[in-house]
Structure 1
Amino acid sequence: MEFSELLSAMALKVKNQRDAITTEEGTKNAFVMPFISTILGYDVFNPLEVVPEFTADVGIKKGEKIDYAIMRDGEVQILIECKKSTESLKIENASQLYRYFAVTNARIAILTNGVIYEFYTDLDAPNRMDAKPFLVLDLLDIDETLSPELRKLTKDVFDLDSIINAAGELKYVGQIKRTIAAQFRDPEDEWIRFFTARVYEGPITQKVRDQFTPLVTKAAKQFLNEQVNERLKSALGGSNFSTADPALQEDAVTSRAVAQDDLDRDTEIETTLEELEGYQIVKAIACSEVKPQRVVHRDSKSYLAILLDDNNRKPIARLHFNGKSVKYLGLLDSEKNETRHTIDSLDDIYQHAAHIRETVRSYE
């Protein structure tokens, strides 16, 4: 699998299992160890590579343990501290990371709850872990621009110097992006004042601020919706998406950018956002067996077909969503006989993951 495919598979695992994990030990076993093994490429059962419960006495602190230490050439390179997946990450709760970072050769520290991974180094002061991460990976909302930098920490291409050199830019670009996102969700007074001053002539009193707060919030959301819709229209070959419908706006925002290279067919049949999202789910499931570019879709008036190698003789599934209040997922047996399964939401497709994978394997 390509590195991006591994990340997608890991994200799917977290999404499917997160609600069932309620302890720190469960988080380590279900999420963190597979991340170290699958994503970073280290053998979690080889103590020369990964040391669980790593101990290094610090001053008067004796016997304190860090959850994992990743080793290279006998030296500690990466320290990992874990919290349970239901717990939010707070740097003030990572005191062991601070202490161990100062007394080992590690240049990278990771604080994680198995869903979000915060990567730290010592940009501000040598051998002292920064208070803010230089890279934040959220497996439920992966920023694809971070993938090349994350890959530099993997076993096969470990490039510490390169990632440390890039850490400063990553840190501040990431913080700026998260700040912008926060302003879109809940704008602060300074943000409101900034835009109000550019469109309103006159003193900005409290009454004016109260008037413009919902206007700035509404304008920001509409701008974001329009940008997403433009990308979708481009991906779908110019199909018309009206931003006047609030429900469609919400769908556009939550669906994000749909894989544009998978939508290159110019047909008279309208492929809906819901069909595309369903296709992406089936594709993500099938990626455990084949490369993602081999899983394609063809739309028709009655259903959207998902095929292996763009071959009608290799159907994986069918989505019967066209204008119906009840939606069906069509699955096929070895004789190509279709059985339709009612689905209440797109997440119900994951319940049929085993059948989808078995169908893909049958063609190999």
Structure 2
Amino acid sequence: MDFIDVIKALGEKVSRLKDSIQTEEATKNAFVMPFIAALGYDVFNPLEVIPEFVADLGIKKGEKVDYCIQKDGKPIIIVECKHWKEELNVHNSQLHRYFHVCSTRFGILTNGIIYRFYTDLEEPNKMDNKPFWEFNITDMSEAAVFELKKYQKNTFDVEEILSAATELKYTREIKKIISSEFGNPTEMFVKHFAKQIYSGPVTAKIMEQFTPMVKKSLHQYVSDIISDRLKTALSNEVDASKKEQEQEIIQTQQVVQPEENKIEFSDLEREGYFIIKSIVRKKVDGSRIFYRDTTRYLNILLDDNIRKTICRLHLNGTKKYLGLFDETGKETKVEIKLLDNIYDYSDQLLSTLHRLEKVQEGQTV
């Protein structure tokens, strides 16, 4: 599996099993060790992953960090683990002590769900009070997984990670400030806008007037951005679908292979075609239903016209899909476990057929 699939699978496992994990030790075994293994380190090789790593501080003996990850015989990451129900904030100082006596640049504090990454950006050999990066393994974005790949055994590079850590640290703090200002704008933030808009003195009364307007404007601005992006995405999908259909029209205008030479038409596609034909025969004569096969899917057509596509069958992959079309020509693929599941979408198929018939009637008037 690709790295992203491994991490996503681990996140799903954590979500599924966490309620049955009752101790810190169980959290380590079920969640944290698989995470370290996912990064490519051998958790059963004491030359790579040392459990209960000794981190004595001065006269205080017996201090141990849960895991020390090594590469080429040198510590590179220390990991301190807590039970998944525990709040990590109260354990920050503990990792801080371990970091001070270990010759490593990175420390991870985790409860198996939240992972906080620390280093010494502010003062050499002294762990920063705040993590430069944090993520929830049950809700990982692709960008977060891409960042995590830097910590894999075969790609680990201290300088590259430290360079990225600086940007991660400050962008994380900036995002926190933005989030706070969105929820409850500070006086300084409101005054920044009021001074640029209001020509008179910015008095307490003016500030009282502007504060809710600034907050409302922020939320409307974000809403507008989201709306614009959704419209663009939907428009691109429709355009792509139309281009695909236009390409098929061009192809069908070329020499058509004899029916007996269409080796793509599998028994599974044949069965699916006849199921759809049996559904739409309730509204039109069966002689008007045709198919055109491609390497990727089977088109089911009305009157052998590619512009009158009733649906598509995607049956050549490991998963099977029925492609349904809306009034804009956009295709939505729904997974079908069995071909008989096609009958569950009879209403949608008949609705599409009805729409195609209405279009034809409008064109002949």
Match of 1:78 in 2: 77
Query: Which residue number corresponds to residue 25 of structure 1?
Result: 25
Partner of residue 332 from structure 1, selected from 332, 337, 346:
337
Alignment of 1:1-364 (within 5 A): 1-18=1-18, 21=21, 23-38=23-38, 40-90=39-89, 93-237=91-235, 264-266=240-242, 311=315, 315-316=319-320, 331-333=336-338, 336-338=339-341
Q: Which amino acid aligns with 1:265?
A: S
Counterpart CA distance in 2 for 1:304 and 1:183 is 49
Instruction: Tell me the residue number matched to 1:347.
Output: none
Q: Give structure 2 stretches of 5+ with no counterpart.
A: 245-295, 300-309, 327-333, 345-365
Question: Cα distance, 1:316 vs. partner?
Answer: 4.2
Alignment check: 8 A CA contact 2:133 2:169 kept: yes
CA deviation string 1:205-243 (max 9, x = no partner): 344333333322222122112222222222222589xxx
Alpha-carbon distance change, 214 to 50 in structure 1, aligned in 2, over 3 angstroms: same
> Over aligned residue pairs, what C-alpha RMSD do you find?
4.0
Unaligned 5+ residue runs, structure 1?
Answer: 241-262, 269-294, 323-328, 342-364
When residues 60 and 2 of structure 1 are mapped into structure 2, their CA distance, relative to the original with a 3 A threshold, is same
- Check 1:230–1:87 CA distance in 2 against 1; reply closer, same or farther (3 A cut): farther
Q: How much has 1:311 moved relative to structure 2?
A: 3.9
Instruction: Name the count of aligned residue pairs.
Output: 280
AA matched with 2:5: E
- 8 Å Cα contact 1:48/1:74 also seen in 2: yes
Structure 1 residues 219 and 24: alpha-carbon distance in aligned structure 2, compared to 1, 3 A threshold: farther
The alpha-carbon deviation at position 129 of structure 1 amounts to 0.7
Q: CA deviation at 1:110?
A: 0.8
| Equivalent pair of 1:149/1:163 in contact (CA under 8 Å) | no
- Output the CA distance in 2 between the equivalents of 1:331 and 1:238: 26
Secondary structure of 1:337's match?
helix
State the shift of 1:75 in Å: 2.2
Partner Cα separation in structure 2 for residue 304 and residue 196 of structure 1: 56
Instruction: Pick the structure with greater CA Rg.
Output: 2
In the other structure, the counterpart of 1:360 is none
Q: Distance in 2 between matches of 1:168 and 1:146?
A: 16
- CA 1:116 to 1:186, structure 2 compared with 1: closer, same or farther past 3 Å? farther
Give TM-score, length-normalised by structure 2: 0.63
Q: Which has the higher helix share?
A: 2
Query: What secondary structure sits across from 1:332 in the alignment?
Result: coil
Scaled by the length of structure 1, what TM-score is found?
A: 0.63
Amino acid at match of 1:158: F
Q: Quick one: distance in 2 between partners of 1:62 and 1:144? A: 42
Identity %: 45
Per the TM alignment, residue 128 of structure 1 is displaced from its structure 2 partner at its CA by 0.9
